[in-house]
Amino acid sequence: MDDTFTMRLILLLTLFLPAAAQAGLIVTRAEPSVIRMGLGFDGATVTVIGAVTQEVQPDSSISPEIVVVLTGPPHSPVLAKMERTWGIWAASPQQRINFLPSYYAIATSRSPTLEFLRHSRLPARIRLQDKLAYANRPRISEDRISALTSLMQSKGTYAELPGAVTVLDDTLFMAQFALPAGISPGPLQVESFLISGGKVIAADNTALVAVTAALPGRILNFLLENAVLYATALIAATILITWAISAVLTRLFP
């Protein structure tokens, strides 16, 4: 276990664990809480750190499983099929997909957990397929869902990460997600599930937001941190430009 990672977990745990007793049986936080997408934005890494309170610690002989899901802002695309009518190929709308996340990634603490989720009947909607089945009537066929996930995966907006949740002492956990450059702005939701004995015994959720910035993140942060200096430089530049224009006009039209 990396010492830096361990110290970071312990530090963050001391900051938000006192609120965990009031907030719920499992608590998570995501950083950064705001993702600024400006010029030159090439993606971001979201780090999810969480803790399991002592109240829900299972028997020491049973190791709990932790699942962390990150979903992006939803949209409702329309699936179309190319059909030939009167010798002309055109797109024919087939079905609208309601509440399709623009980004979806699931990370688990153990590799077999994903296979368990595929065949389980958990009431919690963890998998993307379960979320879409709940939000769409009539239900989307498995073939179309498979095609959707394949398309999203090729764009970097769908990921299955077995064993990517790092657990320390069955209490602290961390997962990291790589967001692509083309992610849609809006709120992102983080859901964490504690699974034991084939059941979800605790869950928590938190949120972060991706915003579009007109300037690159570093420049925007610099301007925000040095607002007085920026304003002074802007006023000085305005005066200088005005004087230069006045001098040129005076020479041209004495």
pLDDT, tens digit (0-9, with 9 covering 90-100), for 211-235: 886 655 566 566 666 666 766 777 7
Distance CA 32, CA 200 (A): 27
The residue with greater pLDDT, 140 or 104, is 104
Distance CA 90, CA 137 (A): 26
Percent of the chain with pLDDT over 70: 72
Region of poorest pLDDT, from 15-19, 24-28, 141-145: 15-19
Percent of the chain with pLDDT over 90: 19
Distance CA 229, CA 233 (A): 6
pLDDT score at 47: 94
Report the run of H or E that residue 103 belongs to, with start and end: none
- Compute the mean pLDDT over every residue in the chain, rounded to the nearest whole number: 78
Region of poorest pLDDT, from 11-15, 39-43, 124-128, 174-178: 11-15
Please check the confidence at residue 175 and state whether its pLDDT lies above 80: yes
Angstrom CA distances, 3 to 16, 32, 165, stand at 20, 21, 17
Please check the confidence at residue 68 and state whether its pLDDT lies above 80: yes
**Residue matched to tokens 């498995």:** 142
Distance CA 29, CA 204 (A): 10
In 3-state terms, what secondary structure has residue 106? Answer: strand
pLDDT score at 21: 45
Region of poorest pLDDT, from 65-79, 156-170, 194-208, 222-236: 222-236
Please check the confidence at residue 7 and state whether its pLDDT lies above 80: no
Torsion of the alpha carbons at 167, 168, 174 and 175, rounded to the nearest 10: -30
* Full-model pTM: 0.72
Neighbours of 164 (CB within 10 A): 18
In 3-state terms, what secondary structure has residue 208? Answer: strand
DSSP 181: T
DSSP calls for 20-85:
HHHH-SEEEEEE-SEEEE-TT---EEEEEEEEE-GGG---TTS--EEEEEEE--EE--EEEEEEEE
pLDDT, tens digit (0-9, with 9 covering 90-100), for 90-131: 655 567 788 889 999 999 998 888 888 887 878 778 988 888
What topology does CATH give the domain 3-214? Answer: Immunoglobulin-like (2.60.40)
The residue with greater pLDDT, 159 or 24, is 159
When pLDDT is cut at 50, 70 and 90, the band that residue 137 belongs to is confident
Contact residues for 81 (Cβ-Cβ < 8 A; gap 6+)? 91, 92, 94
Taking the domains of the chain in order of start, what are their residue ranges?
Answer: 3-214, 215-254
Please check the confidence at residue 60 and state whether its pLDDT lies above 50: no
pLDDT score at 220: 59
DSSP 16: H
